[in-house]
């Protein structure tokens, strides 16, 4: 048989690393669901059959969870917990039962219909992270469906060692099952940087490329494949020379990355003695372990929204457990936990969503929390109760005017009063801060600095609101420039006002995790920068090889430039000269790929 020509496919770099191996196809093609009418007298039995299948599926997931926990697996248990939570969610279970009753149809059909309805809710959400969560609902639906239909839910593990799993999408349970079976890399057709496959692959520290359109139609089991998680590429049927080149590149990059990672315990101090705290952003409690592994000095942002995905808020006790876990694992280092930042592009299912013409400017974040005080107070009590387990910092999101921070503070005081009444303990040294992510708050930072212990700058929103550029709209992405002069001026104002008032400032938006911007952040004088854990070793390395005096000079000169293209060019050229291993004037080198 003639040899096939090598073919390179481009996807998204989801987890760094290079691996050459044989394909193991995981085929999760859509199941054919028959629609069957149930006679009236059979409806209750059908519902019983459905409930039974849900219970059995929960038990299966608990088994998976146990294997992960006791098998010492590194997979994020929280995602599996979230799936169990979805299986118990009223919207799914009662929704399916309602359809069985009202349409007198079989449970499989009803389940398929309710999963499609819930998907639509998630489809309307614009935040990448939350949109990815619709696949959680699909995976849960599929597992219950397979139980109903008596099919095996487990994916078949590869027979060959160090295989490359290629799938349309992978559930965390799939990955948990596969990771102990010698899987060395993952490739999926769908998904983004914040999807499961990316999260799990980074936790397992294996290369992954996601969003490779059409790959399933092009590969067969045991085909040879190169997975390049730095460049987000896969090569099908590579030549021997391509394999040799890839392996050589892999070795070079791995040893460079390992050397950089070995500096993780060294102080983040410039050569001329300026220190900055390097912290991690996390979305799930069990990311704390990897944050520590990558050298996080604190958690700079724990986004608690993930806990509020269902139709009901988690109980105070359940929240307290999650917060305690983060605080205990980080202790004595601090952890900043942000109160729920729901609505807007992140959506929610809890409070009944009114249609909003402009969700980003609507009832979102702190505005929603202040509207639903019972839920907000429960979160504040849970946070306070957890504070005895570590060094808590509470963070309020999206404050846009003084009355909001005053109300939030008053509710925090109310939560304290309630706990005192019940005789429940909480720490008395909790720092309370606010996010600056709205231009009005940035302009008024001198006033706000009198009300809080620290600021955390959310550049993702601050940039979108300052430049009027939707952070999720690809069409206007070319305008989204963190180095826009107006953004730089706001950042300077915030930092200077904070310091003048004697409080510290963190930055936790994506801008903080892009090493390209490091000299500007050093030059502006941020006290903490908080980012995706994988970026930490690289940023630490660059801090240690920077001079704050150079960074200040660059920042001053960049702020005098006339337009934002010039600012970007100046920073790129500076970094390409200072760190040629990481940057070229046109972008970054492979070493920073997959972050």
* Binding residues for ligand PEP (CB under 6 A): 301, 303, 341, 437, 458-461, 508-509
Does position 437 interact with Mg ion (CB under 5 A)? The reply is yes
| Interacting partner of 78 out of ligand PEP, Mg ion, none (Cβ under 5 to 8 A depending on kind) | none
Distance of CA 320 to the CA centre of its chain: 21
Please give the Cα distance from 362 to 328 (Å, whole number): 36
Helix axes 43-70, 134-148, angle to 10 degrees: 120
Q: Please provide the DSSP assignment of 41-77 as one string.
A: GGHHHHHHHHHHHHHHHHHHHHHHHHHHHHTT--S-H
| Known active-site residue 401 | no
| Residues in the chain, total | 595
| Interacting partner of 24 out of Mg ion, ligand PEP, none (Cβ under 5 to 8 A depending on kind) | none
Longest pairwise C-alpha distance within the chain = 81
| Interacting partner of 379 out of Mg ion, ligand PEP, none (Cβ under 5 to 8 A depending on kind) | none
Q: Please report how close the Cβ of residue 341 comes to ligand PEP at its closest, in angstroms.
A: 5
> Which tokens is 269 given?
């101090």
The residues facing 187 across adjacent strands are: 166, 209
Contact 492, 513 (CB under 8 A): no
Pick the catalytic residue from 19, 348, 508, 541: 508
Contact 459, 510 (CB under 8 A): yes
| Interacting partner of 83 out of ligand PEP, Mg ion, none (Cβ under 5 to 8 A depending on kind) | none
Does position 142 interact with Mg ion (CB under 5 A)? The reply is no
Please give the Cα distance from 316 to 311 (Å, whole number): 15
Count Cβ neighbours within 10 Å for each residue of 246-264 and write b for 16 or more, e otherwise: beeebeebeeebeebbebb
Does position 461 interact with Mg ion (CB under 5 A)? The reply is yes
Q: Please report how close the Cβ of residue 442 comes to Mg ion at its closest, in angstroms.
A: 13
Does position 458 interact with Mg ion (CB under 5 A)? The reply is yes
Q: Please report how close the Cβ of residue 299 comes to ligand PEP at its closest, in angstroms.
A: 13
Using left for φ > 0, alpha for ψ between -120 and 50, and beta otherwise, residue 257 falls in alpha
| Interacting partner of 389 out of Mg ion, ligand PEP, none (Cβ under 5 to 8 A depending on kind) | none
Q: Which of the ranges 117-125, 228-236, 458-466, 499-507 carries the binding residues for Mg ion, by CB under 5 A?
A: 458-466
Cis peptide before 248 (omega within 30 of 0): no
| Interacting partner of 158 out of ligand PEP, Mg ion, none (Cβ under 5 to 8 A depending on kind) | none
Q: What backbone torsions phi and psi does residue 554 show, to the nearest 5 degrees? A: -60, -45
Please give the Cα distance from 452 to 579 (Å, whole number): 37
Q: Please report how close the Cβ of residue 423 comes to ligand PEP at its closest, in angstroms.
A: 35
| Known active-site residue 196 | yes
Given the complex with Mg ion, which of 379 and 464 has the nearer CB atom? 464
Q: Please report how close the Cβ of residue 17 comes to ligand PEP at its closest, in angstroms.
A: 26
| Dihedral (Cα; 437, 441, 446, 448), 10-degree rounding | -90
Given the complex with ligand PEP, which of 191 and 509 has the nearer CB atom? 509
Nearest to residue 227, comparing CAs of 287, 157, 167? 167
Count Cβ neighbours within 10 Å for each residue of 45-82 and write b for 16 or more, e otherwise: ebbeebeebbeebbebbeebbebbeeeebbbbbbbbbb
Pairing of strands 224-228, 18-26: antiparallel
Given the complex with Mg ion, which of 11 and 300 has the nearer CB atom? 300
Q: Which of the ranges 51-59, 249-257, 412-420, 432-440 carries the binding residues for Mg ion, by CB under 5 A?
A: 432-440
Collapsed DSSP state (helix, strand, coil) of residue 339: coil
Given the complex with ligand PEP, which of 21 and 513 has the nearer CB atom? 513
Q: Please report how close the Cβ of residue 229 comes to ligand PEP at its closest, in angstroms.
A: 24
Q: Please report how close the Cβ of residue 552 comes to ligand PEP at its closest, in angstroms.
A: 24
Q: Please report how close the Cβ of residue 246 comes to ligand PEP at its closest, in angstroms.
A: 35
Given the complex with ligand PEP, which of 114 and 366 has the nearer CB atom? 366
> Which tokens is 107 given?
């449970």
Contact 68, 289 (CB under 8 A): no
Does position 305 interact with Mg ion (CB under 5 A)? The reply is no
| Interacting partner of 508 out of ligand PEP, Mg ion, none (Cβ under 5 to 8 A depending on kind) | ligand PEP
Pick the catalytic residue from 19, 83, 196, 588: 196
Given the complex with Mg ion, which of 113 and 131 has the nearer CB atom? 131
Given the complex with Mg ion, which of 75 and 341 has the nearer CB atom? 341
Q: Please report how close the Cβ of residue 470 comes to ligand PEP at its closest, in angstroms.
A: 13
Given the complex with ligand PEP, which of 383 and 576 has the nearer CB atom? 383
Given the complex with ligand PEP, which of 257 and 457 has the nearer CB atom? 457
Nearest to residue 398, comparing CAs of 376, 368, 357, 365? 365
> Which tokens is 397 given?
């999101």
| Interacting partner of 211 out of ligand PEP, Mg ion, none (Cβ under 5 to 8 A depending on kind) | none
Q: Which of the ranges 196-204, 399-407, 460-468, 536-544 carries the binding residues for Mg ion, by CB under 5 A?
A: 460-468
| Interacting partner of 509 out of Mg ion, ligand PEP, none (Cβ under 5 to 8 A depending on kind) | ligand PEP
| Dihedral (Cα; 17, 23, 24, 25), 10-degree rounding | 110
Catalytically active residues are 196, 508
Tell me which residues touch Mg ion (CB under 5 A). Answer: 437, 458, 461
């Amino acid at each position: 048989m003639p040899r096939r020509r090598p073919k390179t496919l481009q996807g998204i770099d989801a987890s760094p690393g290079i691996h050459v191996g044989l394909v193991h196809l995981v085929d999760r093609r859509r199941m054919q669901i028959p629609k069957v009418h149930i006679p009236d007298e059979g409806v209750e039995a059908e519902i019983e059959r459905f409930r039974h299948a849900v219970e059995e599926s929960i038990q299966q997931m608990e088994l998976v969870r146990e294997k992960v926990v006791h098998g010492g697996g590194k997979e994020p248990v929280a995602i599996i917990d979230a799936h169990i939570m979805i299986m118990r969610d009223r919207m799914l279970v009662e929704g399916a039962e309602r359809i069985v009753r009202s349409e007198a149809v079989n449970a499989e059909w009803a389940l398929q219909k309710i999963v499609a309805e819930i998907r639509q809710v998630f489809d309307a959400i614009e935040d990448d992270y939350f949109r990815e969560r619709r696949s959680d609902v699909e995976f849960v639906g599929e597992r219950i469906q397979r139980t109903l239909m008596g099919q095996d839910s487990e994916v078949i593990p590869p027979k060959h060692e160090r295989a490359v799993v290629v799938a349309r999408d992978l559930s965390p349970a799939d990955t948990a099952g596969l990771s102990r079976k010698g899987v060395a890399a993952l490739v999926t057709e769908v998904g983004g940087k914040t999807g499961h496959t990316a999260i799990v692959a980074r936790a397992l520290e294996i290369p992954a490329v996601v969003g490779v359109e059409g790959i399933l139609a092009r590969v067969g089991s045991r085909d040879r494949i190169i997975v390049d998680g730095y460049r987000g590429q896969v090569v099908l049927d590579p030549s021997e020379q391509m394999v040799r080149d890839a392996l050589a590149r892999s070795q070079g990059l791995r040893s460079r990355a390992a050397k950089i990672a070995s500096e993780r315990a060294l102080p983040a101090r410039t050569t001329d003695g300026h220190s900055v705290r390097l912290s991690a952003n996390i979305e799930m409690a069990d990311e704390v372990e990897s944050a520590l592994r990558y050298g996080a000095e604190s958690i700079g942002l724990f986004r608690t929204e993930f806990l509020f995905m269902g139709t009901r808020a988690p109980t105070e006790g359940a929240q307290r457990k999650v917060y305690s876990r983060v605080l205990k694992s980080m202790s004595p280092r601090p952890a900043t936990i942000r109160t729920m930042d729901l609505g807007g592009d992140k959506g929610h299912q809890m409070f009944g969503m009114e249609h909003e013409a402009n969700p980003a400017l609507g009832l979102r974040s702190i505005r929603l929390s202040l509207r639903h005080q019972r839920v907000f107070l429960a979160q504040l009590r849970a946070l306070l109760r957890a504070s005895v387990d570590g060094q808590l910092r509470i963070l309020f999101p999206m404050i846009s005017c003084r009355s909001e921070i005053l109300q939030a503070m008053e509710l925090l005081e109310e939560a304290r009063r309630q706990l005192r009444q019940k005789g429940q303990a909480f720490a008395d040294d909790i720092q309370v801060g606010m996010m600056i992510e709205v231009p009005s708050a940035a302009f008024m930072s001198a006033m706000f600095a009198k009300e809080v212990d620290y600021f955390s700058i959310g550049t993702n929103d601050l940039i979108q609101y300052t430049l009027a550029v939707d952070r999720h709209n690809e069409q206007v992405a070319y305008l989204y420039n963190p180095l826009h002069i107006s953004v730089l001026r706001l950042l300077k104002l915030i930092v200077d006002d904070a310091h003048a008032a004697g409080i510290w400032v963190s930055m936790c938006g994506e801008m903080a995790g892009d090493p390209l911007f490091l000299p500007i952040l050093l030059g502006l004088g941020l006290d903490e920068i908080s980012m995706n854990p994988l970026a930490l070793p690289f940023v630490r390395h660059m801090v240690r090889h920077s001079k704050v005096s150079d960074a200040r000079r660059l920042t001053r000169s960049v702020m005098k430039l006339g337009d934002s293209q010039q600012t970007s060019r100046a920073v790129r050229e500076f970094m390409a000269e200072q760190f040629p291993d990481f940057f070229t004037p046109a972008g970054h080198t492979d070493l920073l790929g997959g972050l």
